[in-house]
Amino acid sequence: MADPQLNRRILIIDDSEAIHADYHKVLELPAGADECLEVEDLEDVLLGRAERTTAPTFKVESAYQGEHGVAMAKAALLEGHPYAMAFVDMRMPPGWDGLRTIEELWAIDSHIQVVICSAHADYEWAEVVERLQHSDRLLVLRKPFEPIEVQQCASALCHKWHNERIVRGQVESLERVVAARTHGLEAANEQLRHIATHDVLTGLPNRALLDDRLHQMIAQGPRNAQPFAVLMCDLDRFKLINDSMGHRAGDAFLQSVASRLTEVIRTGDTLARRGGDEFVFLVNSPIDGSDAQSIAQRALQVLDAPVRIDGIDIHVAASIGIAMYPRDGDRADILLANADAAMYSAKQRGSNLIEQFSPEMRGLTPHRLQLESDLHRALELQQFELHYQPKVDTNTGMVRSAEALVRWRHPERGLLGPTEFIAIAESSGQIVPLGEWVLNEACRQARKWQDEGLPPLRIGVNVSAAQFRQGELVRTVEQALDAAGLEPHFLELELTESAVMRSPEESVAILEELSSMGILVSVDDFGTGYSSMSYLRRFPIDKLKIDKSFVCDMVARAEDASIVQAIISLAHSLKLKVVAEGVETGEQLAVLKSLGCDQYQGFHFCCALPANEFKALMKAQDAGIASRLEPVEPTQSKLTALRQR
Ligand code: C2E
Ligand code: CA
Ligand code: CA
């Protein structure tokens, strides 16, 4: 059966017209036979005949000179209908001979199949085949030929051309598949390299790539190397967010921080995530450190707006330390450690601050691992102690209560404040036993003062998110009160907003239980965590403690003063008491008084004191009163909570 796909286009190149006529006769059907063929084809199908016996027909075209034939082959190729084969005469004066013609043909169309024809015996066929490099696209035919020879050559070579094209197509598609796979492998490889050198969560370079870049920058040698800066940026209070809102929220928070910090870097600088909430910038050629300083400032600026996660606005704050190469170190580890020390120093001074490294900071590096391992034994070695800071009545100046603030008397480092170890204790889980110790010690001390004849006062204890979540808080508190013999209304627990917001339902239940025992609950650092304040109505809370950052700027910034004012009026409308933290000047106190703030804490009155000094202060202030406790009225939130029960 005629294959419609088969290319039957044949080129005859011969200088003899008579020969052309012969080819046409042998290879083409007489005019009108086409239709017959189609009918025959139909019969083949109907009768199920596999092979048709009639000779196949071809499309034959003529050229009388080699040059002409090659031009026709070129045109056919351009049309997209190339010749499948050509019959080429050996001698075609005056033009090219057959050999040259074949070479030219193959130069423009390397797939065309060729039959060389010659009547003459003056060719050494071996030589001809040699010259055409034993091509398998070539057959030799001696004139005069039998029609069947021509038909068979035409049929076989058209099929050969066709099969080769199929094979070529398959090879090409195979090559395309291979190319695609290779490309895929390369991409996968690239991705693997990326994963090995980048942080999965934020996509930023990781610690390995950071070290690599840092070493490269140093490798040029101090004489050739450009000065550069290492900026260590550590988020403040990230642990709290992670603990109170969960890891998913913590991750989203870090991603958002990373993308904001990325806005700050210039081409050629590096921003890496070194782990946890620690980001490192490598800033190129800041001659005097001012570039680094301005990048650090921009970093704090871009972090200024709150990050919204799960419908809650979280305020970001960070501390940044800067170390310069080669001034502050000519080794990667030293530069990182010194940037770390500067960051640590910034953190100690407060929040959202930038510090340049200076040699006296060296001792500040917390050597976290060492501290963590020391911390393990600190409890059993009884290295902790509590200091007490008075909470003072804004109107009368009377000390109402005391906040217990933990200190660590470290055998080598001296007295350490909580900012140096609370975060470590939280991340290592030691905050739970430490918090339990603080609770017991504070209750014991409060009772002891009472036994010593001081007018009874309330004792405030900070409770970390981990303790609150752990589920044992109520029992731990009961046991501490029992062991000390202290009545519950002498105890006040200070919790941060984020600690109670983690799982509000659970929190309400715990707070209700504590409230029903008579214990007071304060929200610590109020204003720095959640913007949503609706929880204040639902949670049985007694006091808000306005964070010291608002108090600090209150006198200079009208905006902060109005925030403080708003917090106070909100609190009072819910019958909550308000305590201002970090009051350092008489001016601040005067403003707070005018705004109706109930109590305050701060260096203006006094800092946290060891137990014996606190006792001496109380004695000196002894106004002959029976109790220092402020009268407690049930707050709006307590009533609401009770009503909802
Ligand atoms: P906090 O609960 O906000 O405690 C107040 C902090 O402000 C104390 O720092 C206090 O010494 C300091 N401060 C008091 N008055 C002023 C002032 O006028 N100006 C300034 N700039 N600061 C003032 P401290 O003792 O270093 O405690 C830091 C934080 O450590 C506390 O902040 C609290 O969150 C945490 N902490 C302290 N003791 C404990 C504890 O026993 N358990 C837990 N979980 N956390 C604790
Ligand atoms: Ca507190
Ligand atoms: Ca506070």
What DSSP assignment string belongs to 189-244? HHHHHHHHHB-TTT-SB-HHHHHHHHHHHHHTHHHHSPPEEEEEEEETTHHHHHHH
**Is the Cβ–Cβ distance between 66 and 13 less than 8 Å?**
yes
Contacts of 70 (CB under 8 A, 6+ apart): 101, 104, 105, 108
Contacts of 12 (CB under 8 A, 6+ apart): 19, 20, 23, 60, 61, 62, 63, 86, 87
What DSSP assignment string belongs to 353-403? -EEE--GGGGGG---HHHHHHHHHHHTTTT-EEEEEEEEEETTT--EEEEE
Going 283 to 284 to 286 to 287, the CA torsion angle's sign is: positive
Q: Amino acid identity, residue 201?
A: L
Of the two residues 359 and 422, the one the predictor is more confident about is 422
pLDDT tier for residue 45 given thresholds of 50, 70 and 90: very low
**Is the Cβ–Cβ distance between 166 and 174 less than 8 Å?**
no
Residue 58 pLDDT: 94
CA of 240 to the centre of ligand 1 (A): 15
Q: Measured in whole angstroms, how far is the alpha carbon of residue 402 from the centre of its chain?
A: 44
Q: Which of 237, 387, 399, 462 most suits a substitution to test ligand 1, by most atoms within 8 Å of the C-beta?
A: 462
pLDDT in tens, 6-29: 999 999 999 999 999 999 999 997
Contact 405 CB / ligand 1 (< 6 Å)? yes
- The single-letter DSSP state of residue 602 is B
For ligand 3, a single-atom ion, which residues have Cβ within 5 Å?
524-525, 581
- The single-letter DSSP state of residue 606 is B
Residue 301 pLDDT: 94
pLDDT in tens, 272-289: 999 889 999 999 876 666
Q: Please tell me the distance from the alpha carbon of residue 143 to that of residue 140, in angstroms, as a whole number.
A: 10
Q: Which of 436, 461, 581, 605 most suits a substitution to test ligand 1, by most atoms within 8 Å of the C-beta?
A: 581
Residue nearest to ligand 1 atom 23, measured at CA: 582
How does strand 414-416 pair with strand 354-356?
unpaired
Residue 283 token pair: 């800033």
Contact 390 CB / ligand 1 (< 6 Å)? no
Residue 487 buriedness (CB in 10 A; 0-12 / 13-18 / 19+): middle
Residue 623 pLDDT: 65
Residue 63 token pair: 């050229």
CA of 535 to the centre of ligand 3 (A): 19
Ligand 1 atom closest to the Cα of residue 461 is 41
Residue 40 has pLDDT above 90, yes or no: no
3-state SS, residue 85: strand
With b for 16 or more beta-carbon neighbours within 10 A and e for fewer, the 193-220 pattern comes to eeeebbbeebebbbbebbbbbbeebbee
Contacts of 533 (CB under 8 A, 6+ apart): 570
Average pLDDT over residues 410-437: 88
Average pLDDT over residues 264-272: 91
pLDDT in tens, 517-551: 999 999 998 877 665 677 788 889 999 999 888 89
Location of structure tokens 């009051």: 583
3-class DSSP string for 149-175: HHHHHHHHHHHHHHHHHHHHHHHHHHH
pLDDT tier for residue 2 given thresholds of 50, 70 and 90: low
Q: Does the predicted model carry a pTM greater than 0.95?
A: no
Residue 330 pLDDT: 84
Q: Amino acid identity, residue 484?
A: A
Of the two residues 316 and 604, the one the predictor is more confident about is 604
CA of 383 to the centre of ligand 1 (A): 18
**Is the Cβ–Cβ distance between 359 and 380 less than 8 Å?**
no
CA of 507 to the centre of ligand 1 (A): 23
CA of 66 to the centre of ligand 2 (A): 102
Residue 51 has pLDDT above 50, yes or no: no
Residue 187 pLDDT: 86
pLDDT tier for residue 426 given thresholds of 50, 70 and 90: confident
Residue 30 pLDDT: 66
Looking at the chain, the whole-number percentage of residues with pLDDT higher than 90 is 53
